[in-house]
A and B are shown apart, each in its own frame.
Chain A
């Protein structure tokens, strides 16, 4: 009987979602100029009249052409995804960082232990030795990814995940290896705190929380787009520490 109910509810749900699909405009029928994202792409947010945007829809001001390499006052990110994620909608990213933080916290509270869990398996010699060569390279690659987040695809979240992969490799290669929760916790907490402090500095200097108060520089340079690479470094280190802590929790036991 329970299964019958489940099937009925699932069928009703699928029918509901399918009937809602009719609301979504078909492929190719979307007026891209009536999307805020078109302004993110053209980097002309500050040229738009926001009031008209709210009241009617669509672009009104023709945007001034932006050239790669020129001084760009808008935000200076060469990577448009980064400019949305860490600049236009940076507050959402702060929220997402907090989601990950909360999830890691929950795993720590439920699974966390104080001692390394031993599986009694000795990993392969080739694997153990090659890990020693690979780990610094992986960490370097992860750092490269998040430092260049505003120029190339990537950024804080993938960079941090790559760094955590190094920690995972160490756990798999060595039965004795155990990261202390104190150090990962301190790194993740201080990096998260620094992100909020960067936002508060913006509030103090520019009057807006998470305001980009540093000069944006030339598009395409490593040192450009103001606080974006700094924030991405915080995020990268934080995500790396968080996921390493998570791996530590999964490989530990009470004792």
Chain B
């Protein structure tokens, strides 16, 4: 059944190539079907699917455990939400369908080379999406980054193959690598995934791509980032446990501070949010790099909060930036959008009453418990910077003298943005909506033997 999550969008993409005008309708149908399908997969957790009927170390297998189940559920929900906006998707519906198939495949796959293939598709589709609104220079920069990252990812896969003799993730997780080869493999994987995960020296593309059009940030900063973070946990913790997690920790802390500082000096709304998403990615990676519970679950909890908030922020910002040239006081004529924007930004900062508070507070408390004072200190500093620029933007968009006459807003944007914003408040009161899936994901990711067991017991009937 789980292959359908890849097959449905893929077949829809091929059909959309036949007649361009079918694109959006096919995208909407595929998004709805995929969301229903990923909900219905809950009965199949945990299981594997051996493609072509070939047993896992020889053939390719898809692994559906708690981690990949909640990841595809979350990702398909985002694709469904984006399906509400035909005007944002425009003629990019076919590319979005390919991206949907690839992200689902990337999360589900249990084979290293197969994950490389899906990463290639993700970067190809993402580069096309980034080129919307003639944003060619940034898209080209992204293409170079993604191309180099992809080739290093492939070299890492080759290294694993020379050591273990197979491309299977479960076998690699079982295999005991020498320390030297583990460092080589994890470094290469870190560079390969670091581009999509927006890790410090590899995130030069983010500002141009997220700041250049309205579609790219909405989908790349949410679904694609989520899948990259999922894979980061899967590879760095489950399969190649240990490795260069310390390096990741340091780089992630630099990413967090650098991203927030750059956002502080940014004058363009979309670019500010782009830098802010770099900073947030740094926080998630720093917490993830601790490599053990409860940090892993908190990392995914924080990631879910951040992605939900960023979806609202980028939807509103992308809509307004391309409608008006001067944004001063624009929320006076878009009160619903403005409210949603403010709620999402407060959640991002971590004010009480909003979702971000729950995750950030927990991260700080757990870090103190573990005797790590560096992470809380830097997190608080980053939050302070974040607070400064988000409040500044809120004040500017709400209270400055309005320059341009406001037009009638789009009800779709208003409805989705306010619904997600209310959801962020609901999560503050019932954090288990996100925390329970996040901790199930983290359990599956930190349990190496559990992962191997799922694959080997899946072999039973073959």
Q: Which A residues lie at the B interface, using CB under 8 A?
A: 16, 19-20, 22-25, 30-31, 34-36, 39-40, 45-46, 48, 50-51, 53-55, 57, 87-92, 94-96, 98-99, 101-103, 105-106, 109-110, 185-186, 188-193, 196-197, 199-200, 202-203, 206-212
Contact with A along B181-212 (1 / 0, CB 8 A): 10011011000000000000000000000000
B145 CB-CB contact with A under 8 Å: no
Q: Are B131 and A54 in contact (CB under 8 A)?
A: no
Q: Are B128 and A106 interface neighbours, CB within 8 A? A: yes
The contact of A53 among B101, B113, B171, by CB within 8 Å, is: B171
Contact A199 B54 (CB under 8 A): no
Q: How far is the CA of A48 from the CA of B128 in the complex (A)?
A: 43
**How far apart are the CA atoms of A8 and B117 in the complex, in Å?**
31
Which residues of B have CB within 8 Å of A212?
Answer: 52-53
In the complex, B57 has a CB within 8 A of chain A: yes
A54/B56 in contact, CB under 8 A: yes
Residues of B in contact with A, size category: 35 or more
Q: Which residue of A lies closest to B156 (CB)?
A: A20
Main secondary structure on A side of the interface with B: helix
The answer to whether A91 and B18 touch across the interface, beta carbons within 8 angstroms, is no
How close is A241's CB to chain B, nearest CB, in angstroms?
A: 10
Q: Which of B59, B184, B456 touches A55 (beta carbons < 8 Å)?
A: B456
Whole-angstrom distance between the alpha carbons of A98 and B7 in the complex? 12
New A-B contacts (11) at CB < 8 Å, excluding given A19-B184, A185-B17, A209-B52: A40-B58, A50-B462, A87-B52, A91-B52, A98-B101, A99-B117, A99-B120, A191-B14, A193-B14, A197-B11, A208-B49
Known: A45-B58, A51-B456. A30 touches B162 (CB 8 A): yes
Contact for B167 among A36, A96, A188, A189, CB less than 8 A: A36
Q: 11 A–B contact pairs at CB < 8 A?
A: A16-B187, A19-B184, A23-B185, A31-B165, A54-B455, A90-B52, A101-B17, A105-B95, A186-B17, A189-B14, A210-B52
Is the beta-carbon distance between A53 and B57 smaller than 8 angstroms? yes
In the complex with contacts A105-B128, A189-B15, A210-B52, A54-B162 CB distance below 8 A: no
Give the docked Cα–Cα distance between A212 and B163 (Å).
Answer: 30
Smallest Cβ-Cβ distance to A207: which chain B residue? B53
Whether a CB of chain A sits under 8 angstroms from the CB of B85 is no
Mark B83-126 against chain A: 1 for CB-CB distance below 8 A, else 0. 00000000110110010011001000000011001101100110
A30 to B161: give the CA distance in the assembly, Å.
11
B121 touches A98 (CB 8 A): yes
Per-residue contact bits, chain B 153-188, to A (CB 8 Å; 1 contact, 0 not): 000000101111111101100110010110011011
Cβ contact of B114, chosen from A92, A189, A196, A197, cutoff 8 A = A92
Q: Any chain A CB within 8 A of the CB of B16?
A: yes
